[in-house]
Every structure is written in C-alpha cells, then in structure tokens.
Structure 1
Amino acid sequence: MNPGDEQGYDTDERYGGTGQTRTRLPGDEDTYDTARRSMRPSRSLITVVGVVVLLIAAIAFANQNTDAPTTPSDARGPATSPTSPTGTKPVDTQASGIPTGHPRTKQGAESAAANYAVALGSADMFGEERRSQILETIIVPSEVQRFRDSLDKAYSKPLFQNLGLREDGSSPDGLTFVSRTTPIGTTAAKYTDTKTTLSVWCSGLLGLAGETSINPVTSSWFTITMELHWVDGDWKIFTHSQKDGPAPVPGDERAATSEEIAKAVEGYGGLTYAR
C-alpha cells in the first residue's frame, strides 16, 4: 500500500531518488526485514517482498481546529472512538476510479486518507499507465512528477519477477494477483483547513492465488501517516510515511486455499471510505 523537511531532500534515502520518497526493495536491511518473524525461513523472500510492495504502494511521498460547525467533532462520540460514524454521506464523485471531492473538514480529510491508502495499495499500481492516473488524482500537482519518477524505479522487472509476475506487472495465466489495503481506522494528529496530518491503520494482502502459485497470498499490518494539503477543491497527498503494525495475535482460522482466495478477491469489490 512512509521523512526530512517538507521541501528538502533526505540524503539518507537509499532508494527512490530524491525528496521524501523512500522505496524499500528486497535486501534492504532495516526494521521492515523483521516483519512476520514467525513465518518459515523458506518464505522469507516473499515475506520481505510483501512488506516492501505494501510499502511501495503507499510509498514515502516526498502538519487544529475542528470540523465545520455543521459537523462538530463531539458528534462523533468520545475521543476513544475517533472513527465512529457521523451520518455524513460518502463522496459521490470519482476520478480514475478513486473517490474525490472530499469535504474541507477534518472528517473529509480522514476519508480522503483512507481512500488514498486503498488506491496506493491496489494491484493497479503495478501498471505504469494506471499508476500514473492514480498519482495525478491523489497527489499535490507540484509533487506528481517526483512521485512518478520514484515509483517507476520501484515497480521494476526484478520486483515483478520476485513476486512471480510478468515483466509488465501482469499475472501469469491461471493465477490471480492480489494486492489490497484495507483501512481499519484513521486519526488526525493535526488539522487546519489547508493542511492536515493523519494516520491510517491498515491491513494488507499480497501474493498470487492459484494452484501453481509459489508465492501465496499473505497478510500484514501497518500504519501510514499522510500530510494532506487542500488543493483544487480536494485533499491531496503531499508526504507519506509508513511503519509496521500494530499487528494483532493471529487467530485460529484455517488458511484458505488459493482457489478460495482468488474467488474472494474476484467476488468482493472494494469500498469507499467516509466518516
């Protein structure tokens, strides 16, 4: 589905070029390599790649008042339930298949962050043309080219090969590629009607479903933090960072077969997130 100064560049970034964009690829030895330690060593590569791609999908893009009077913050319940329903209708417009036209309110920014996390963590990001459309829709215009340059390097042939995909990022015959991010909740650390910083707690799925797959679909948990700016009548991403967890203790459910996963992915569509 991840910082230096807003306008500066982080010289510590090892991948992804300039700006605040950080791309973690297989073999990047850092905290991401410790994710899902409980998995068998034979699956270590796909584990690393899985975390990497979910990170890439929400790549590190290179900060109070309350909502509008018609939607006061106390209407959402106590502070311990910051993402409780408000009764406000979801956005009803889209661009490139992504919800747009979020309200210029705190809850509007939270909805935008959730919807953008979904877009950045989708399988669509693996195709160059579709990826470009997504970035043009959700990124601050002045930052789009920087994001595009970094992501074009990140979504590379070696990465596709490690995931079992074709050189163009498409799925081999008989297999279903799964890359999904699901927001669990959002919270706004800082808010003004021009700039806001939010965090989105997410779960993610990544892998190939099918009888011949050697990279089965696995799950991960991570938190992404976005700085959104109000631009051209909507919230747009200016910066983005990501960290692992918090991850719950795995349950005792039987792992689904590849066929069951493929049918679920094909049969259940995504959601538009709104407060």
Structure 2
Amino acid sequence: MSQGDERGYGGNEPGGRTEDAYSTLGGTRQTRTRLPGGGEDGDGYGRRPTRNSRSLIMAVGVVVLLIAAIAFANQGGGDGSSGDNGKKPEAAGAGPTAATGTKPVQGKNGTIAAGFAHDEQGAQSAAANYAVALVSAEILQPDRRSELVPQIFVAERVSELEARFDQAYNKAFLDKVGLDEKGIAAPGMTYVSRTAPVGTKTTAYTDASATVEVWCTGVFGTAGVSSTNPVSNDWFTMTLALRWTGDDWKVDSFSQKDGPAPVHTDRTASDADEIAKAVEEYGGFTYAR
C-alpha cells in the first residue's frame, strides 16, 4: 500500500488519489536507476505475499486510515496551474524501453537528489526522486519531514504543506498505524515504506513547468511478530506538477491513484525478521530518466 490513497496536495482539481494536482511524467523511454556510490546494493520488490483473511482485514484498515489522513492534508490550497499549461510532448524516436544515457543529476540537497537538468528528462528524473521521498517512512517523522518538505516543494508552498502534513500525520493518526509521536515504531518493530518507480511519462511541458506521471511499486507496513499492519506490496501512479525555480525542478502539487497493477501470483511471504533485515541492509537508489 502507499502512504495514502486519495492524496493530492493543494490543487483545485477534485481531491482524491485520481485527480488532485500533487502526483508522476511521461516520456517514451524506460526509467533507469543509478546507485548512490556506484555500489551494487539495490531494492527488490516482490509480489504481494499471501495472507490470511485476518491479516488482510487489518492491512485494509490501515490503508483506510492513511487515505483519510492524506485527504485531510489535501484540502484546499494551490491553483495547480502548472498541470495543463504548455505543449503536449511528442513521442521521441527511441523506443519506450530506451534510457537517455545523459547524466541525470549534479548533486544532492540533503538526502534527495538535486540539480536536475532543465529539460523533460530532468523533470522526469526529479519527479521519480520526489515520488520516493513523498511515500517514505521519513515523511511520517516530524523532525525528518521538516527537512524534506523544503527540499521537495516550491518555496511559497512550504509553510502551507508543512502545516497540512502536521495535521494529517498527527499523534492520533500515528497511534493508529503503530508509531509514536516521533513517527518511530515500537521496540522490536520496523515500519516499512519503500517505493520504487517503474517508469515515468511527461503529460505537459514548458521551460517553466511540467507535469509528470510516475508509475510506482513498493512495500508498506510494519514488520514485527505482533504487527497488526503486516508489510504488503502495492502499485500506484503519482502525478507531480513541477515548476522550474531556483535553477531546479520543485513540486507545486501532486496526487496519486491506484495501479496499473500486474496479476499477483501465489508466493510464500517472508517473515517479519527477514523483511526488517532487508530494509536495514539494502540501500535506496537515485532515479534517473
């Protein structure tokens, strides 16, 4: 599952996971990944594990909580103006599975990539990396969230979004998903929220703004023997309205919707210790178009 089902921060479009202005960018080539130091570590996301009905009901219950919190945070704000202004991108000559081969990013702003190219490829790379940050475990932690939001959003939206995130992920919400007021899981438990972009598509582009759709999969939940929110897999598409500001692409608004999702095959689920160990041992990627 993703952090929320109906998330869209600050657009004037109808709220919800399918329509709000805060969401992923399309092109005609496949997303490639670049490891952060040239190492060989990487994230692998398996198929949805088989569960008994009790675990499934508990997982669905937590998804509903996340949806409600995101919907609350998405109320009001923003004009979503960057979403549909500008030309529709034309299909490139290369096939949809070809990577661009251009260096994607010049540096990092904290833990998030920064310095994206001022072109469609740069916008897609930015959208992919911002999607990962927006559906991370750290976004639920107040201390980390105060660092991440200014790195992701345009400056004039930061204060508004910080307040809405704080309201959405308040203590009552964190209690319901098994986290303390600092967004930390109980001793012996590991909260997991790891997203992997599968591809990107540009739906609108100008030199000043871009709209990008990011198709994602990921693993979400709490790993632990007594967890009532078991780690499961989800597929979703995030649409991000980006603006070129301060010599970089930043998010003006985003939204999220379900799928496209493949058929899941039966597969024995890993135990909680194995999942927690994987999250601790396998580092994340910097994503590039």
Instruction: Tell me if TM exceeds 0.5.
Output: yes
> Which of 127, 132, 152 matches 1:118?
132
For residue 28 of structure 2, what is the aligned residue in structure 1? Answer: none
Distance 2:287 2:159 in 1: 27
Contact 2:191–2:221 (Cα < 8 Å) also in 1:
yes
- The amino acid across from 1:156 in the alignment is N
Q: Which has the higher contact order (CA 8 A, sep 6+)?
A: 2
For residue 217 of structure 2, what is the aligned residue in structure 1? Answer: 203
For residue 260 of structure 1, what is the aligned residue in structure 2? Answer: 274
Per-residue deviation, 1:213: 2.0
CA 1:128/1:253 → structure 2, altered by over 3 Å: closer, same or farther?
same
RMSD, aligned CA: 3.1
Contact 2:221–2:229 (Cα < 8 Å) also in 1:
yes
TM-score when scaled to structure 2?
0.75
> Which of 50, 53, 63 matches 1:40?
53
Contact 1:209–1:262 (Cα < 8 Å) also in 2:
yes
Distance 2:150 2:140 in 1: 15
Q: Does 1:104 align with 2:118?
A: yes
Contact 1:65–1:192 (Cα < 8 Å) also in 2:
no
Q: Alpha-carbon deviations, 1:160-203, whole Å to 9, x = none?
A: 12211123211111111101111111100111111111111111
CA 1:65/1:103 → structure 2, altered by over 3 Å: closer, same or farther?
farther
Q: Alpha-carbon deviations, 1:125-164, whole Å to 9, x = none?
A: 1111211211101101111111111110111222212211
Q: Does 1:232 align with 2:271?
A: no
Contact 2:196–2:218 (Cα < 8 Å) also in 1:
yes
Greater shift in the superposed pair: 205-214 or 129-138: 205-214
Per-residue deviation, 1:216: 1.1
1:72-111 equivalent positions in 2, closer than 5 A: 73-74=92-93, 77-78=94-95, 81=96, 84-111=98-125
CA 1:100/1:176 → structure 2, altered by over 3 Å: closer, same or farther?
same
Contact 1:50–1:218 (Cα < 8 Å) also in 2:
no
Contact 1:181–1:205 (Cα < 8 Å) also in 2:
yes
Q: Alpha-carbon deviations, 1:203-228, whole Å to 9, x = none?
A: 12211112232221111111111110
SS at match of 1:203: strand
- The amino acid across from 1:208 in the alignment is T
- The amino acid across from 2:53 in the alignment is R
For residue 27 of structure 1, what is the aligned residue in structure 2? Answer: none
For residue 178 of structure 2, what is the aligned residue in structure 1? Answer: 164
1:60-71 equivalent positions in 2, closer than 5 A: 60=74, 62=78, 63=84, 64=87
Q: Does 1:194 align with 2:194?
A: no
SS at match of 1:215: coil
Distance 2:238 2:185 in 1: 27
- The amino acid across from 1:175 in the alignment is M
CA 1:221/1:103 → structure 2, altered by over 3 Å: closer, same or farther?
same
Aligned positions, number: 243
Q: Does 1:50 align with 2:67?
A: no
CA 1:92/1:56 → structure 2, altered by over 3 Å: closer, same or farther?
farther
Contact 1:46–1:163 (Cα < 8 Å) also in 2:
no
TM-score when scaled to structure 1?
0.78
Q: Does 1:213 align with 2:220?
A: no
Contact 1:229–1:237 (Cα < 8 Å) also in 2:
yes
- For structure 1, the 5+ residue unaligned runs are 23-37
Contact 1:229–1:238 (Cα < 8 Å) also in 2:
yes
Per-residue deviation, 1:90: 3.0
Contact 2:120–2:202 (Cα < 8 Å) also in 1:
yes
CA 1:65/1:104 → structure 2, altered by over 3 Å: closer, same or farther?
farther
Distance 1:193 1:136 in 2: 22
- For structure 2, the 5+ residue unaligned runs are 24-50, 79-83
CA 1:94/1:184 → structure 2, altered by over 3 Å: closer, same or farther?
same
Identical aligned residues as a percent:
42
